[in-house]
Structure 1
Amino acid sequence: MGAMAAQGWTRADTAEVVSEPTADDDKYSRGVVGMRTGSTAFPGAAVLGVDAAWRCGVGMVRYLGPERAADLVLARRPETVTAEGRVQAWVIGSGTDAAHRSARERAALAAVLSGDVPVIVDAGALDLAGEASAPVVATPHGREHQRLRRMLGLDPDTDDASETARALGGVVVRKGATTVIAAPDSPPIEITAPTSWLATAGTGDVLAGTVGAVIAGVIGRGASPGDLAAVQRAAASAVWLHGHAAALAVAAHRGGPIAALDVAEHLPHAVADALRG
């Protein structure tokens, strides 16, 4: 299959994916995100991802993770549900380490990856991405993309997200100064970050929560979980919102540095800007 020319992504494109709730919506039609993220060593990743997901306008966030992380999540976002139940997208792996994964957690992740709803596979769960029968959205940065390609039997020194997506049978969000969102049968989408202040710890956790939220919203409104082109567009919209939120946060700090939570806190403004656009 020949390479397809990359396309850009704009506020107007994002506005076609995200939507304002109506009087007929409920928490399920607005999307429910399930998150198995964070660890005793890295509990903040869970807080950042959950906070981001809530701020994108989902109907509910379910958090299932270690007790310390769950306590911090509830302290920050008491709306969060910490019981199992229906979800329309999962986020797994942020703030976890495969080397310290318990057998119980391995089984729980395997169940998520064999389900019917999209799974955003981040950071410490990327080693499991190739096992998924569920629709999968892998979110590697550069070194993680190399490892993912090696695992899939591809040349790790070739940075081709579209080839990775075809081998994976899912969507790949290859993070970087320019993020590439690739799907097996669609042209890749490229989005350049509007600010380099985004290169800071925790912003990947915020992005994973944002991707999970936007995809859950699209599924809640009736998109097929297996429609990878729709999942790709939702992931691209999440990347755009994440970058725009970062730019708004930098502007609020008069051009100065930001932290990951600043990006999450500006996501509602980014969603509003997209809807107004």
Structure 2
Amino acid sequence: MVREWTRDDTVGLLPVPTARDDKYTRGVVALRTGSAAYPGAAVLGVEAAWRTGAGYVRYVGGAVDAVLARRPETVAGTDIGDTRVGAWVIGSGTDAAHRSDHEQAALGHILAGSAPVVVDAGALDLADAAVAPVVLTPHAGELARLRGMLDLPDVDLETEDARIAAAAETAERVRATVLLKGARTVVAGPGAESIVVGDAPAWLATAGTGDVLAGILGTLLAANPDRPHTETAAAGAWLHGYAAARASGAVGGAVGHPIVALDVAEALPSAIAELLS
């Protein structure tokens, strides 16, 4: 059986603070993303984490200046210190081929912890060694490469059935949640019912939107520590698509217009407000 994720499903995972909350209880997200070559990935992920409702965002990657220029409320530095992290985001805007020994050790430390980790792009090669609960966010090409590293068979990902089967098999192999990005996103977890998330506008297929998704997922994981990660990941994908629809004007069957990734992040607060109204 495959579950089709809905708007109502998503609403139940959106973080809504109460009078008893503080910046820590609202969710602490830490990101080790971006690089000198791709600082924008860090900016987009941090922006999305704040815009989704995180109470506290830490940044410890290689794009500190760019992050602080855009979001000065971010706590940035080379050391996470004693901050209580609810979820990590790693890999966006990085390249495993150029990873230093220091970076390898830092990522290994994160993946050996207990906080959930969103593993994107340049960190997907580390998935099989993770001890922490992880949510992998590959697109089709990245999933094919990951499966090769895991000695899983080549598969044709052209049909939805094949995408669901490949995501589920990979999730079982690495004992992690796999979010396979696409026009209809597939979320699979070991022993869990697979989920399909549709309705995202085609305008969402543009550079940087995956970095925004990673930031959204980090915030929702930090805010929902007791929910299954497959459900949290599906909610993040649905919210991502809905914010893109609002940003592009593609709501209610309208054709819409081009957008950039930052438009999606900036549309998150109004999208959340509408969902909660």
Q: TM-score, normalised by structure 2?
A: 0.92
Whole-angstrom distance in 1 between the partners of 2:42 and 2:235: 22
Match among 190, 206, 217 for residue 211 of structure 1:
217
Whole-angstrom distance in 1 between the partners of 2:236 and 2:271: 10
Q: Return the letter of the residue paired with 2:65.
A: D
> What is the aligned-residue identity percentage?
58
Residue in 2 aligned with 1:38? 34
Alignment of 1:198-237 (within 5 A): 198-219=204-225, 223=226, 230-237=228-235
Whole-angstrom distance in 2 between the partners of 1:140 and 1:189: 15
Contact 2:33 / 2:93 at 8 angstroms: preserved in 1? yes
Q: TM-score, normalised by structure 1?
A: 0.92
Residue in 2 aligned with 1:11? 7
CA RMSD of aligned residues (A): 1.4
Deviation at 1:194, TM superposition (A): 2.5
Match among 226, 247, 267 for residue 249 of structure 1:
247
Deviation at 1:11, TM superposition (A): 1.2
- The yes-or-no answer on 1:71 pairing with 2:65 is yes
Partner SS for 2:4: coil
Residue in 2 aligned with 1:266? 267
Gaps of 5+ in 1: 224-228
Contact 2:128 / 2:174 at 8 angstroms: preserved in 1? yes
Once the two structures are superposed, residues 81-138 of structure 1 have per-residue CA deviations (whole angstroms, 9 ceiling, x without a partner) of 1141221100000000001101000000000000001010000000001110000100
Match among 168, 180, 187 for residue 186 of structure 2:
180
Match among 16, 23, 38 for residue 20 of structure 1:
16
Contact 1:172 / 1:181 at 8 angstroms: preserved in 2? yes
Whole-angstrom distance in 1 between the partners of 2:173 and 2:50: 32
**Which stretches of structure 1, 4 residues or more, deviate above 3 A after TM superposition?**
none
Residue in 2 aligned with 1:123? 121
Partner SS for 2:75: coil
